[in-house]
């Protein structure tokens, strides 16, 4: 949860500091959109290799490297002096953070029983979204006293403390940790398929990429991440320029609503997915939560754009963001259900597709606003994509065998 919180602290602060950065560095909206997307481009490129690295080397070493790297380039963001330097720094920031989520998923696959996977994923994302929801207020307060560059130095420093603690305390397997007793190990491993190590060769890659469930997961997560990226990049600008929220206190609260609403959605989405899966089976339980939440997210976002009352609009848009997070426990636990020994790679494949959507979103929104001179079209497009993503759950079956050998369901 601390890792999740730090990642969103470092990611979201740039959306609040963006107007100040644009003014100091002479950037327009389209250029700032490319800056937002430089992070996600690198994140997508390095996601699968880093997830595979975690499967082979263990998440203790890989997550330590990831956090040190991204913390360093968060601090380096404070030194940006023009458009090109900011693009390069944010690209390297994304390259360093790539693989964090898949390696966390692999950690959960080794440390939690099968029947708790969606719940623990929901709790993890709750930590991320809680930090993300508080970040706008925290950044707004800091900006009242310091320059925007100071924000990145302060936030980047936190990760080094986490990395030191993680390296000293964590072990890749419960059996290797001195504080884990025999009873706890048995509880964690109960019902888990036996570990059969296989090299992820080209034949197994083809089976992975041809799986209808993996394709469905990737398409679904593309739409979810596209929408989420809007909330953490352009929503603050929309609330200021279109809805007219200028008071710093009210603005920071409303800008953080999607992530604030996501906190309970993460927890109850994970609990609901595990409960529904125990009652109706994996496929139905995961699909009801995943598909239903995305469909409601699309409806709420479109309703928020359509209403004239500014406060109601902000609340509806925030609720849409919360509903898009309700599926996270179902989605990420499905990666563990499908992936087995390659849980990191399957999680990385889904998250890579998500990062493609996240990369496209800021550019599409920035250019559509410049072209149409309004925000209606790009926001309706986001809502429609959510609804299309809900349909993808028809193709997703968590009990599918990705490989013919070495898997037990």
Domain ranges of the chain: 2-185+211-395
Q: How far apart are CA 323 and CA 50, in angstroms?
A: 29
| % of the chain with per-residue pLDDT over 90 | 45
Q: How far apart are CA 352 and CA 3, in angstroms?
A: 19
Q: How far apart are CA 328 and CA 273, in angstroms?
A: 10
Q: Which tokens belong to 380?
A: 């309706």
* Mean pLDDT value across residues 96-118: 87
How would DSSP label each residue in 157-218? HHHHHHHHHHHHH--SSGGG-TT--HHHHHHHHTTPPPP------HHHHHHHHH-HHHHHHH
- pLDDT number for residue 309: 95
* Mean pLDDT value across residues 241-245: 89
pLDDT value at 408 more than 60: no
- pLDDT number for residue 407: 42
Question: Over the stretch 184-215, which tens digit does the pLDDT of each residue have?
Answer: 988 888 766 655 555 666 677 777 778 899 99
Question: Over the stretch 267-318, which tens digit does the pLDDT of each residue have?
Answer: 999 999 989 988 898 889 999 999 999 999 999 999 999 999 999 999 999 9
Summarize the chain as % helix, strand, coil (round to 5): 85, 0, 15
Could you tell me which of 247, 221, 237, 218 has the C-alpha nearest to residue 379?
A: 237
- Are 244 and 310 a contacting pair, CB within 8 Å? yes
Q: How far apart are CA 241 and CA 245, in angstroms?
A: 8
Number of Cβ atoms within 10 Å of the Cβ of 243? 18
| % of the chain with per-residue pLDDT over 70 | 95
Q: How far apart are CA 214 and CA 211, in angstroms?
A: 5
- pLDDT number for residue 406: 43
Distance of CA 299 to the CA centre of its chain: 21
Question: Over the stretch 24-36, which tens digit does the pLDDT of each residue have?
Answer: 999 987 788 788 8
Q: Cβ contacts of residue 142 below 8 Å, gap of 6+?
A: 150, 151, 154
Whole-prediction pTM value?
A: 0.79
Task: Kindly state which CATH superfamily the domain 2-185+211-395 is placed in.
Answer: MFS general substrate transporter like domains (1.20.1250.20)
Question: Over the stretch 26-85, which tens digit does the pLDDT of each residue have?
Answer: 998 778 878 888 887 888 889 888 888 888 888 999 999 999 999 999 999 999 999 999
Could you tell me which of 9, 84, 101 has the C-alpha nearest to residue 348?
A: 101
Question: Over the stretch 380-394, which tens digit does the pLDDT of each residue have?
Answer: 999 999 999 999 999
Mean pLDDT of the chain: 87
At 167, the pLDDT band (50, 70, 90 cuts) reads very high
The more confident residue out of 190 and 98 is 98
pLDDT value at 15 more than 90: no
With residue 111 as reference, give the H or E element that holds it. helix 100-111
Number of Cβ atoms within 10 Å of the Cβ of 298? 24
Q: How far apart are CA 97 and CA 47, in angstroms?
A: 9
- Are 120 and 68 a contacting pair, CB within 8 Å? no
- pLDDT number for residue 345: 82
The more confident residue out of 337 and 299 is 299
* Mean pLDDT value across residues 242-271: 87
Q: Cβ contacts of residue 395 below 8 Å, gap of 6+?
A: 212, 213, 215, 216
pLDDT value at 405 more than 50: no
Q: Mean pLDDT check: name the lowest of 8-17, 93-102, 147-156, 210-219.
A: 8-17
């Amino acid at each position: 949860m601390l890792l999740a919180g730090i990642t969103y602290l470092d990611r979201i602060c740039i959306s609040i500091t963006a107007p100040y950065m644009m003014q100091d560095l002479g950037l327009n909206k389209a250029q700032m959109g490319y800056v937002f997307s430089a992070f996600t481009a690198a994140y997508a490129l390095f996601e699968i290799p880093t997830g595979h690295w975690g499967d082979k080397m263990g998440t203790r070493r890989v997550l330590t490297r990831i956090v040190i790297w991204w913390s360093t380039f968060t601090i380096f963001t404070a030194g940006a002096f023009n458009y090109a330097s900011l693009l390069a720094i944010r690209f390297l920031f994304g390259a360093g953070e790539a693989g964090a989520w898949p390696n966390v998923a692999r950690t959960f696959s080794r440390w939690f029983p099968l029947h708790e996977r969606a719940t623990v994923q929901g709790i993890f994302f709750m930590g991320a979204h809680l930090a993300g929801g508080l970040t706008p207020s925290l950044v707004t307060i800091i900006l009242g006293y310091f320059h925007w560059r100071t924000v990145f130095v302060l936030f980047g420093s936190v990760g080094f403390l986490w990395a030191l603690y993680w390296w000293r305390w964590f072990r890749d397997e419960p059996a290797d940790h001195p504080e884990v007793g025999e009873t706890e190990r048995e509880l964690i491993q109960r019902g888990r398929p036996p570990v059969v190590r296989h090299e992820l060769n080209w034949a197994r890659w083809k089976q992975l990429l041809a799986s209808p469930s993996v394709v469905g997961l990737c398409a679904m997560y593309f739409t979810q991440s596209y929408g989420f990226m809007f909330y953490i990049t352009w929503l603050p600008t929309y609330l200021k320029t279109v809805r007219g929220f200028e008071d710093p206190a009210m603005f920071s609260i409303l800008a953080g609503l999607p992530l604030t609403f996501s906190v309970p959605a993460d927890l109850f989405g994970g609990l609901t997915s595990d409960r529904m899966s125990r009652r109706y089976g994996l496929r139905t339980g995961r699909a009801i939560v995943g598909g239903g939440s995305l469909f409601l997210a699309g409806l709420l976002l479109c309703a928020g754009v359509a209403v004239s009352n500014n406060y109601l609009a902000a609340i509806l848009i925030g609720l849409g963001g919360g509903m898009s997070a309700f599926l996270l426990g179902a989605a990420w636990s499905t990666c563990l259900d499908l992936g087995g020994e390659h849980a990191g790679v399957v999680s990385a494949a889904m998250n890579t597709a998500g990062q493609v959507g996240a990369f496209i979103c800021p550019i599409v929104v920035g250019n559509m606003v410049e072209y149409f001179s309004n925000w209606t079209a790009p926001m309706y497009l986001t809502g429609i994509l959510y609804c299309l993503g809900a349909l993808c759950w028809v193709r997703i079956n968590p009990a599918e065998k990705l490989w013919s050998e070495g898997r037990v369901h």
